[in-house]
C-alpha cells in the first residue's frame, strides 16, 4: 500500500482544510488542537497527517518528508517555492498582505519625497520586492511576530503584515495604507512524489480542486 503524508499547520489552516479532507474521503483520527501528537492518523490506513509550523510546510514538502501540504501564499512567497508543484489555490485562509502605518503618518508624502522608510516585518523578501518595485529605499527590520508594536515604540515607520478584518491594526491605532497582494492557501506537492505516487496523489488533488470550487 502506498503511504501518503500530508503536512498541515494547526489553527485556521487545519480548520478550513477539514471539509477538503472530507471531500477526499479523509477524516483525521484526532484534532491537533487537543492532541499533542505531531503525526495524526486518519480513517484511511494509507493517509497520515503531520502537524508543523505554518512556515515550515514548504520545507517538509520540498524535501519529500511530506508528499503534499497546505501553505499560505505569504509563506510560499518567502520560501520561494523551489521543488514544489502548486496545482490548486484552495481559496481558504484568505487575507491581504498590506503596508500599515500609525494613524496620521503621511505615507504617500514620504514615498513622494523619496524618504527612507524603516519597515518592520516577518515577510522580509516580500517587503524588499514590493518597495524595490516602487523605488522606495528601506531599512528592513526582521521580526517574528506582533509587528503592530514596532511603529508604536519607534522601532519602525511602517509594517508589512497580513490583514483580514483590520481589528488588530485598529486596536493599535494603525491603518492599512497599501495592498501588496491577496493571500490564500495553496496545495503544494512534492514533484518526485507526484511522479512516484501519481494515482493516489492525483485523486487527492482532484478532490481538493472540486471541493474548493476552482
Binding site for ligand ATP (CB under 6 A): 9, 11-13, 53-55, 72, 74-75, 93-95, 145, 162, 164, 183, 185
Residue (126 or 156) nearer to ligand ATP, CB:
126
**C-alpha cell at position 10:** 494547526
Distance CA 40, CA 119 (A): 39
- The answer to whether residues 64 and 116 touch, using CB atoms and an 8 Å cutoff, is no
Residue (8 or 26) nearer to ligand ATP, CB:
8
- The answer to whether residues 148 and 159 touch, using CB atoms and an 8 Å cutoff, is yes
Distance CA 187, CA 185 (A): 7
Closest distance to ligand ATP from the beta carbon of 106 (Å): 27
Residue (90 or 193) nearer to ligand ATP, CB:
90
Distance CA 143, CA 123 (A): 8
CB count within 10 Å of CB 181 equals 12
Closest distance to ligand ATP from the beta carbon of 198 (Å): 28
Closest distance to ligand ATP from the beta carbon of 132 (Å): 23
Residue (149 or 162) nearer to ligand ATP, CB:
162
Closest listed residue to residue 146, CA positions, set 124, 130, 135, 162: 162
Closest distance to ligand ATP from the beta carbon of 200 (Å): 26
Closest distance to ligand ATP from the beta carbon of 123 (Å): 10
Q: Per DSSP, which regions of 113-155 are E strands?
A: 117-121, 138-142
Residue (89 or 178) nearer to ligand ATP, CB:
89
Amino acid at each position: 500500500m502506498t503511504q501518503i503524508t500530508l503536512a498541515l499547520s494547526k489553527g485556521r489552516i487545519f480548520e478550513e482544510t477539514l471539509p477538503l479532507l472530507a471531500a477526499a474521503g479523509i477524516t483525521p483520527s484526532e484534532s491537533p488542537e487537543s492532541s499533542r501528537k505531531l503525526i495524526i492518523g486518519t480513517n484511511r490506513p494509507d493517509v497520515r497527517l503531520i502537524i508543523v509550523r505554518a512556515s515550515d510546510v514548504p520545507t517538509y514538502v520540498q524535501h519529500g518528508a511530506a508528499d503534499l501540504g497546505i501553505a499560505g501564499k505569504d509563506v510560499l512567497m518567502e520560501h520561494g517555492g523551489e521543488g514544489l508543484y502548486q496545482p490548486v489555490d484552495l481559496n481558504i485562509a484568505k487575507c491581504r498582505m498590506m503596508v500599515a502605518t500609525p494613524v496620521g503618518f503621511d505615507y504617500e508624502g514620504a514615498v513622494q519625497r523619496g524618504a527612507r522608510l524603516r519597515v518592520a516585518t516577518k515577510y522580509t523578501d516580500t517587503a524588499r520586492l514590493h518597495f524595490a518595485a516602487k523605488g522606495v529605499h528601506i531599512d528592513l527590520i526582521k521580526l517574528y511576530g506582533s509587528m503592530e508594536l514596532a511603529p508604536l515604540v519607534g522601532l519602525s515607520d511602517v509594517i508589512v503584515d497580513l490583514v483580514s478584518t483590520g481589528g488588530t491594526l485598529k486596536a493599535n491605532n494603525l491603518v492599512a495604507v497599501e495592498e501588496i497582494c491577496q493571500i490564500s492557501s495553496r496545495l503544494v506537492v512534492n514533484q518526485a512524489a507526484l511522479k512516484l505516487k501519481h494515482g493516489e496523489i492525483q485523486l487527492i488533488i482532484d478532490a481538493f480542486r472540486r471541493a474548493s470550487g476552482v
